[in-house]
Amino acid sequence: MLSYNALLEMFRQNSVGIPLITRKVVLYHTATKVAYIPPVTSLFAKIPILNLIVALLFWKPFFAVLFAPGLVCMLIALLPIIWFERKVTARVQWRYGPLEISRDIGGLIQPMADGMRYFFQEVITHREAHRPYFLQFPLLTFLPVLLPILVIPVGAIYAINTPYSIPAAIALISLIPMIIVAIGWASNSKYAYVGSLREAFMYFSYEIILIVAAMSMVILYGSANAIEIVREQSVVPGVILNPVAALVFFIAIIMATSRFPFEIPEADPEVVFGPFVEYTGIIFGLVMTIAYEKLYLLCLLFSILFLGGWNGPFIPPLGDLSPVLWLFLKTFALMMIFVFFRTFYGRYRLDQALKIGWSTLMGFAVVSLGISLGLGVINIAGWL
Amino acid sequence: MRDVNAENIEFLSSGAIAPVKKWGAKWSLWAVHLVTSCCGVELAHAYASGYDAERWGTLNFGMMRQTNLIIVEGTITKKMARALRITWEQMPDPKFVILIGACGIEGGLFWNSYHITRPWKIVPVDYFVPGCPPTPEGLISAIRALQKKIEKGEARTTVKFRETDLAELLGTEAGKERKPPKPPLKIAEKPEIKVEPKEVEWELGKQLVGKLKERIPYAEVFTTDVNRIYIKTDAKFYKKVAKALECEGFDHVKSINVIDVLHENKFIVECSVSSYSIKEFMPVIVTFAAEIDRCNPRIPSLIDVWLSADYQEREMHDFFGVWFEGNPNMGQKFLIAPEVETPLRKDFKLEEPSYVLEENK
Amino acid sequence: MAGVKKIKPPSPDFLETIKLHLDAFGVGLREAVKPSRMTVQYPRELRKRPKGFRGMLVFDISKCISCFQCAFVCPANAIHMKKAPNGKYYPCVDYAKCIFCHFCRDTCSKGAWKTTNFMDVAFKSVDEMLLTTEKLVNGPEIPEEEREDEYVVEYEIRGGKLVLKKETSPDRIVEVED
Amino acid sequence: MSEMKEYSLPVPVKPPAEIKSLELPVPPGLDEKATKGDEIVLFVGPQHGGSGHMRLIVRVHGDVIREVIPDPGFVHRGVEKLAENKLYVQNIPLVERPAIMDCVNFSLGYVRAIEQALDIEVPERARYIRTMLAEICRIGTHFYDAGILSVFLGHTTGFMWPFALRELTCEALMRVAGARITASYVVPGGVRRDVDNSTLNYIYEAMTYIQRKAKDFERIFVRNPVTIARLKDVAALSKKEAIKYGIVGPFLRACGVEYDVRAVEPYDAYDELTWDIVVADEGDSYSRFLVRVNEIQQSISIINQCIKTLKDMPQGNIVSADVAGKKKAKEGEEKKGLDTVNGAFFRLFGRLTLPAGEYTTLTEAARGTLLYTIVSDGKSNVPYRLRIVTPGWYYLKGFMESLKGCRLADLQAVYGSFGYFPPEADR
């Protein structure tokens, strides 16, 4: 039985260090007068229960899931990326995009207005739907979205440090399509049925190459632990070591997150948002963000595997948050590239996407595996 | 009918978080993709680069379940009316309707058509935009007006019209009484439907007419103009003529037409054919016509000669009730709503135009 | 004289396909960096209407001879004549039907019908759309508090480039033209 | 290997109720057969992200379309009947309405039928203005269709750019005729207004700009590998099939038939201008689209020739003297047409009456052959019967037949490649 103090001590032992808020900050400094702001966390240090909550929040495993790279970072990335997507598309299309809602910041809060509108709209469950599942599955999506965070570390912040973090993350991410297929089944409508079939087919087309590309990097670095992998890339990032794997992984992400040109399961003119056709209101808001959440997760993985993860100049005041910042910036930049594809691509057909996945990309994936094996041999022989 | 418009506004402006609700609804008017007619062109322009209605937070979206605005783009036909109502009912509350285009409001050009409805009697409408089609500016100003309505809770027409007192302007003393003149429409009681031969300078036509006369001696063949040949035949030879023309190289149907001659109690069924495969015949249109009884209008179908006749025959069946024997789809409504019967017959009367404003209006 | 031009759809091989991918990406990127925007930010900016634009009608009652021709020619039957106190008939326009073809304006031999550069109205009810002679004489007026316009924009193409020529917007938006 | 056999599970299924209640034009028993077999019956439209104002009843087997049954008429407004109750001149706006983006071509065909009946000779300037505007509308319609095709393929930029360029053609129409889209500009014997030189300059500049921007559009959409993959070899029709189904216009030319009404039966100024009929052999969706993209170039060339001729011509004389009732010109004196119709519109055209007979004209509208037949009884001042057959109605059969054997996702691609516009087909 853990005592209160032992629990508190356990949280404090393994807490996130951010000098900006856990150390004293010098505000005003002359030779005689020195003004400090006492650390914010120390305010609560003495108050029972509250100090436990604060300690829990800063406890690394909890912090990882809830703040970085978990839920909060995801939301911070999502709102601007949806706005950015609409803005950059509009820019390429010779127009402005969302603007008038807040002219000074270019309509940045437009996604929030849409969210508010969704929130207060009626939720319709149609007669044919499998009612309990129809409402449960959208909420269940948080499970496969947050589970991979457990094994994705950022610098020293991680929930579970495992030597199998990359395979585990990919395995957990691949739960998302199952939820989508289940959503399509629960909707019990023809278009939802066609849409979830498409989702299932797309899953087959990208999953193998995604795994092969990731594994080729694992072979190259000689470890499946994300922390090891990032350390290996301290000089040369993975994208230079094995560009083919990066390319394959990149395209697999497009397929996995149904971005253009592989936006096939939700194809609006063909199957009217496929699995999500019957959803209304805030539940639709939930299911529509699945693709963006998945994009965020896979971009995290891409940054870790190919872009040197959280490597970057250390910023002392941020402490443990400095790697978080670098990883977040890389991830966000990647997401911006992915959403840009909407501006100049249409969508492929399902059978074409399958063909691309199974022939061209599979070939590239095997080549990337070969490159990794070759580099690995050179590395072991000590020629590098 | 309950006032859904008022209920929507009431829902949005009630409760402690009313400002948030109103703000969300105001800046996120997503229009459902329900193209109903040709005003869709200007709707597309309003959302495209030229005007970019997306600036105002409105977006044209595919599916009814995720939207809160219907922009009715013009005509709602009797067939479309149910689709409009279903779409509206499937949309989650609170929802709004903007109606653009004269066709949707009072019918516009089609005010007395047999196939259109008044959409504002089917769904509750928030704003009406005139024009045929309205300009994209008109649509955007309706969206702006709707946003203001959500915010303030009351609808307001964007423009004011000041009334002038005519009595003051013109004086009340009655001058000479002006009687409304005779309306211009002049429709003959006993119309004369005839097609007469016309001699024209057209070498190919003379050859063709000669050839056809030889092939179908039972029919009357003559030219009516350059590139136009007319064949008068009988219903029992109708298909024979068609086969003969097919042998000559006429490979597709240009038009199948029925003329209703009410006072003579007959239908004239005409079929115009032309050719794509023979270059000289490309501009030539050969029309062959047969008269049939108006009470039991039956004529052989031509779909086994020219497949391109199929939909036109079904259309004529809808319009006139002519039964094309051999077409498998007879007896089924194709183009028009089930409740309309043979609208193009001359005894199917439309509402007459009026030129003087009635007092009750 | 018409000739014949035969075209052949492209069938790119692998390398060409990659080139085409990059080409499309290049155009997209160029526009993202330097967009050729052409949006008229209505209602902040108004689009300039050319002369003879077929907008809402204004009626000059002093010129009307009550000849009924405008009502007769109207294809939508939107013009009805209404008896005025002086015994003459004057037209009313039903904007619920009007298709803005301006056959009435071309018909009027006395020039009683005038056009404006304005037709962007949103009515809140169908009944309001019937403009009787009393309302037609004055034409539409935009309440000052509803106005959001700052500029009037005109499309102009100069040297192969589309320029949105901006002018400060006038005091009165609705301009009547003979 | 032995042939694969299909099995359907004996699951008790109930055919969906909507098939009966909607009174669809389907063969009886379609619902039972499909639900019990291995097929799904999908309703595409009228409220569907990828359909216009029509319903397509699609029988799908796996991902392959077995059959598509059209259910048109959602925008059927009874133009043919209404025309019998309106004056000849009142029908000009009416006949435009089926395809308002192609308004000049549509009114042109109708007006030419009247001119043919009354034997009116159109002044040269009016002929050139008509030709120029008809081609502007053709460009606008082709851009419209390209935009719809793009959005059906998910390419939103490909939708926005053509509509942005259409904004320029709308501006041109607005400067010439006064309305952005529905011009109602062509009248028997000429046109309603004259065009001044500054407008002509604008149109010339706009065409140059469109030509330049169309190149970008080509790079981002037309030659985009995704577009090529989606459209090439999809729903191909052979020349023989195309003729059998009676396809028209650019879609017929994409199948290798050199048929263009502007060439085989030239009207207005077309035989005085130099231009090419664009033809392709493949007959698939991509060539149907590419033919129209190339026609835009041809139209621009025609417009530029018209502008050149019009600038050299003196202003005025835009309505034929035949209409103005100046038939009896003095000997040796040239008949002078009218410079304007202002103030005399109803007097000139209001009570037109055609001699008894039947008058048929063909016009090459943007989407293909457009046929008007006016039957007149010689006494009424309304048509006794007006038969309109629009391009959409002609190629609907071919459109439906070409879909057989395509994949479900191809439905929208083929729809877009035909540029099917339901109001036009339904009238």
Q: In chain A, what is the straight-line distance between the N-terminal and C-terminal CA atoms, in Å?
A: 52
Q: Contact D192/C1, CB-based, under 8 Å?
A: no
Examine residue D181 and state whether it is found in any structural domain, yes or no: yes
- Determine whether B103 is exposed, middle or buried from the number of CB atoms within 10 Å of its CB (0-12, 13-18, 19+): buried
| β-bridge partners, C135 | none
* Structural domain that includes position C130: 57-139
Residues of D in contact with B350 (CB under 8 A): 81-82, 85
A100 located within any domain = no
Contact, D292 vs D419, CB < 8 A?
A: yes
Instruction: Tell me: do D43 and D90 sit in the same domain.
Output: no
Please answer whether residues A215 and A288 qualify as being in contact, where contact means their C-beta atoms are separated by less than 8 angstroms: no
Let me know if residue B211 belongs to a domain: yes
D382, D13 Cβ separation under 8 angstroms: no
| CATH code, domain carrying C123 | 3.30.70.3270
Q: Where are the alpha helices (DSSP H) in D313-344?
A: none
The greatest distance separating any two alpha carbons of chain A, rounded to the nearest whole angstrom, comes to 77
Judgement on whether residues A222 and A361 belong to the same structural domain of the protein: yes
CB-CB contact of B129 with B136 (8 Å): no
C-alpha dist (Å) from residue D122 to A144, D108, D130: 73, 12, 10
CB contact under 8 A, D228 and C50: no
User: In angstroms, rounded to a whole number, what is the distance separating the alpha carbons of residues A109 and A90?
Assistant: 16
Residues in C closer than 8 angstroms to B105, CB to CB, are 96-97, 126, 129
Is D36 part of any domain?
A: yes
On whether the CB atoms of residues D108 and D367 are closer than 8 A, the answer is: no
Residue A36 belongs to domain spanning: 4-58
Q: Which residues from C are below 8 Å from D199, CB to CB? A: 50
Residues 6+ apart with CB under 8 A from C113: C57, C58, C59, C60, C70, C102, C104, C105
Number of domains in chain D: 2
Kindly report, residue by residue over A277-314, the tens digit of the pLDDT.
888 888 888 888 888 888 999 998 899 888 888 888 88
Q: Which of A372, A157, A191 is nearest to A275 (CA)?
A: A191
Quick check: is D8 in a domain?
Answer: no
**Has residue D327 got a pLDDT over 60?**
no
Q: Give the residue on A whose Cα is nearest the Cα of D35.
A: A190
CATH of the domain at B85: 3.40.50.12280
Those chains having 3 or more beta-carbon pairs within 8 angstroms of chain B are A, C, D
Query: Smallest Cα–Cα separation from C107: which of D351, B107, D121?
Result: D351
Chain B interface, best mutation among C47, C95, C97, C130, by max B CB count within 10 A: C97
Number of domains in chain B: 2
- Convert the pLDDT of each residue in B184-240 to its tens digit: 888 887 888 888 888 888 888 888 888 888 888 888 888 888 888 888 888 888 888
Distance CA B340, CA A300 (A): 62
**Residue A162 tokens, joined:** 């495992």
**pLDDT bracket for residue D141 (50, 70, 90):** very high
For every one of its 384 residues, what pLDDT tens digit does chain A have, with 9 covering 90 and above?
568 788 877 777 777 777 666 666 666 666 666 666 666 666 677 777 777 787 788 788 888 888 878 888 888 888 889 899 988 999 888 888 888 888 888 888 888 888 888 888 888 888 878 888 888 888 888 888 888 888 888 877 777 888 888 899 898 888 888 888 888 888 888 888 888 888 888 888 888 899 999 888 888 888 888 888 888 888 888 888 888 989 999 999 998 888 888 888 887 787 787 888 888 888 888 888 888 888 999 998 899 888 888 888 887 777 777 888 888 899 999 999 998 998 888 888 888 888 888 888 899 999 988 888 888 777 766 655
| Number of domains chain A is built from | 2
**Cα(D322)–Cα(D348) distance, integer angstroms:** 10
Specify the CATH number for the domain of residue D378. 1.10.645.10
CB-based contacts of B352, cutoff 8 Å, min separation 6: B112, B185, D85
> Is D179 a member of any domain?
yes
Asked if residue C52 is part of any domain, the answer here is no
Task: Based on the fold, state whether residues B138 and B8 are members of the same structural domain.
Answer: yes
Distance CA C64, CA B170 (A): 12
Instruction: Tell me the C-alpha distance between D355 and D380, whole Å.
Output: 10
The shortest C-alpha distance from C174 to chain B (Å) reads 11
The distance in angstroms from the start CA to the end CA of chain B is: 23
Looking at the fold, whether B319 and B254 belong to one and the same domain comes out as yes
* Strand runs labelled E in chain B: 30-32, 59-61, 69-73, 96-100, 127-129, 160-161, 220-225, 228-234, 252-261, 266-274, 285-293, 298-300, 323-325
Give yes or no: residues D29 and D111 share one domain: no
Residue B143 shares a structural domain with residue B277: no
**Residues A182, A297 share a domain:** yes
Are residue B16 and residue B122 in the same domain, yes or no? yes
Residue A124, min C-alpha distance to chain B (Å)? 7
Give domain status of residue C63, yes or no.
yes
B109, B194, C16, D399 from D384: Cα distances, Å = 19, 11, 59, 32
Residue D44 pairs with which residues in a beta bridge?
D56
Beta bridge partners of D278: C5
Strand-pair partners of B292: B267
Chain A CB within 8 Å of residue C38 CB: yes
Query: What pLDDT, on a 0 to 100 scale, did the predictor assign at position D189?
Result: 85
Q: Are residues D67 and D83 in the same domain?
A: no
| pTM over 0.90, yes/no | yes
Nearest to B184 among C72, C139, C148 (CB): C72
Say how far residue D362 (Cα) sits from the centre of its chain.
13
Contact D182 C5 (CB under 8 A): no
- Cβ contact D90–C50 (<8 Å): no
Same-domain pairing of D199 and D90: yes
Does residue A68 lie within any of the structural domains?
A: no
Residue D394 pLDDT > 80: yes
Please indicate, yes or no, whether residues D418 and D270 belong to a single structural domain of this protein. Answer: yes
Contact C24 A94 (CB under 8 A): no
Q: List the one residue out of C96, A110, C163, A298 whose CA is nearest residue B103.
A: C96
Strand segments (E) across D284-380: 357-365, 368-376
| Residue D212 domain-assigned (yes or no) | yes
How large is the ipTM? 0.91
Record: contact B27-A93, CB cut-off 8 A: no
Task: Give the residue from chain D lying closest to A259, CA to CA.
Answer: D154
Cβ <8 Å between B230 and D161: no
- For A60, the 3-state DSSP assignment is helix
Among the partner residues C25, C37, C38, nearest to A344 by beta-carbon distance: C25
- D55 with D126, same domain: the answer is no
The amino acid at residue B130 is P
Q: Which of A15, A32, A58 marks a domain boundary?
A: A58
pLDDT number for residue B346? 86
Q: Do A280 and B28 touch (CB under 8 A)?
A: no
Q: Per residue in D198-217, pLDDT tens?
A: 899 999 999 999 998 888 89
Q: Which of D247, A123, D407, A100 is nearest to C45 (CA)?
A: A100
Residues D209, D138 within the same domain: yes
User: Which three-class secondary structure state does DSSP give residue D275?
Assistant: strand
Together in a domain, D356 and D250: yes
Q: Residue type at A130?
A: H
pLDDT digits (tens, 9 = 90+) for D397-417: 888 889 888 888 888 889 888
Residue A92 maps to a domain: no
Residue B111, domain extent: 4-152
The candidate with the shortest Cα–Cα distance to B325, out of B301, B297, B292, is B301
8 Å CB contact of D345 and C28: no
| Domain co-membership, D41 together with D86 | no
Please indicate, yes or no, if residue C85 is contained in any of the structural domains.
yes
Q: Is residue C153 part of a domain?
A: no
| Structural domain containing residue D198 | 79-319+349-426
CATH number at residue B316: 3.30.460.80
Residue A257 lies in a domain: yes
Question: In the prediction, which pLDDT does D136 show?
Answer: 92
**Mean model confidence pLDDT for chain D:** 85
Q: CB-based contacts of A37: which residues, under 8 Å, 6+ apart?
A: A24, A25, A27
B226 and B291 belong to one structural domain:
yes
Residue with tokens 């925008």: D75
Does B120 share its domain with B10? yes
Is position B246 within any domain? yes
For an interface test with D, which of C29, C72, C107 has the most D Cβ atoms less than 10 Å from its Cβ?
C107
Cross-chain Cβ contact D93/C99 below 8 Å: yes
Q: How many CB pairs under 8 A join B and C?
A: 203
Q: Is residue D13 part of a domain?
A: no
Among D263, D266, D250, residue whose Cα is nearest residue D127? D266
Whether residue B112 lies inside any domain: the answer is yes
**CB-based contact D72:D52 (threshold 8 Å):** no
**Cβ–Cβ < 8 Å for D250, D367:** yes
Q: Are residues A46 and A133 in the same domain?
A: no
Cα-only R_g, chain C: 24
Which one, of C140, C58, A95, lies nearest residue D156 by Cα?
A95
Instruction: Find the CB nearest C28 among A92, A94, A96.
Output: A92
The whole-angstrom distance between residue D416's C-alpha and the CA centroid of its chain comes to 13
CA nearest neighbour of B342 among B254, B260, B253: B260
- Tokens coding A196: 């979830």
DSSP codes joined into one string, A78-141: HHHHHHHHHHHHHHHTTS--S-GGGGGGTTTTHHHHHHHHHHTSPPP--TTS-HHHHHHHHHHT
Return the residue in D51, D56, D152, D219 with the most chain A beta carbons within 10 A, the one to mutate for interface testing.
D152
Co-location of D419 and D311 in the same domain = yes
Residue C161 lies in a domain: no
Residue D326 lies in a domain: no
D192 and D67 in a common domain: no
Considering the domain boundaries, does residue D10 fall inside one? no
H or E segment to which residue B14 belongs: none
DSSP, res B62: S
CB contact under 8 A, C157 and D274: no
Closest Cα to residue A231, out of A155, A297, A322, A329?
A155
Sheet containing strand D39-44, strands side by side:
D39-44, D55-61, D64-71
Tell whether the model's pLDDT for residue D326 goes beyond 70: no
Residue of C15, C22, C23, C25 to mutate, testing the A interface (most A Cβ within 10 Å of its Cβ): C25
Q: Provide the phi-psi class of C157: left if phi over 0, else alpha when psi is between -120 and 50, else beta.
A: beta
List of long-range contacts for B172-181, beta carbons under 8 Å, 24+ apart: B172/C85, B172/C86, B173/C86, B174/C85, B174/C86, B174/C87, B175/C86, B175/C87, B175/C88, B176/C87, B177/C87, B178/C66, B178/C87, B178/C88, B178/C89, B180/B355, B180/B356, B180/C68, B180/C81, B180/C89, B181/C67, B181/C68
Contacts of B110 (CB under 8 A, 6+ apart): B75, B103, B116, D77, D78, D82, D97
User: To 10 degrees, the CA torsion angle through B14, B19, B20, B21?
Assistant: 40
Calculate mean pLDDT across residues C154-160: 84
Q: Tell me: the pLDDT tens digits for D265-303?
A: 888 888 888 889 999 988 889 999 999 999 999 999 999
**CA trace torsion A112, A113, A119, A123 (10° rounding):** -130
Note whether D57 and D117 are same-domain residues.
no
